[in-house]
Amino acid sequence: MDFEVKTSEVQSGIQVLKVKGEIDLESVGELEECAEKLMKVSPKAVLVDLTNVSYMGSCGIRVLLLLNTFLARNSNKLIIVGATGGVLATLELVGFPEMLQMTQTVEEALKLLSSRRSRRKVRGA
């Protein structure tokens, strides 16, 4: 399976980083480049769509941790979307479900972000 990674803005300030293929030593450079570009635009949230990722090594975990650290510094969010099988097992092994929000779909992640914004508005009113 060929490796692909692309970004798109799904809502104002919310970026989706969609990955396809295997995240390994050969492909991680491309993933890092996309993550660095996202950090330059400083989005409110990044949804990392791993639905079509069949394998992720520790190098991919490192990129996700770096992206999460950058976003958290500005009180912004990283949400992992669609991780299944071995990819999900890898994320669970390193504790991602305890650190980050994880959803099955981009739509679920957007609802989660929307409900958080609504709660903040109510508290601040």
When divided into structural domains, the chain yields a total of 1
Residues 8-19 have a mean pLDDT of 96
Residue 82: its H or E element: none
Task: State the residue for tokens 């109510």.
Answer: 122
Looking at the predicted structure, is the pLDDT value of residue 69 above 60? yes
Looking at the predicted structure, is the pLDDT value of residue 120 above 60? no
Q: pTM for the full model?
A: 0.90
In DSSP terms, 53 is beta-bridged to: 21
Greater confidence (121 vs 57) lies with 57
Greater confidence (96 vs 116) lies with 96
Looking at the predicted structure, is the pLDDT value of residue 122 above 50? no
CA 48 to chain centre: 3
Q: What angle do CA 79, 85, 90 make, to 5 degrees?
A: 65
Instruction: Indicate the burial class of 64 (C-beta count within 10 angstroms; 0-12, 13-18, 19 or more).
Output: buried
- Tokens encoding 72: 């958290």
Would you place residue 115 in the very low, low, confident or very high pLDDT band (cuts 50, 70, 90)?
Answer: confident
For 61, the domain range is: 4-124
The enclosing domain of 22 has a CATH number of: 3.30.750.24
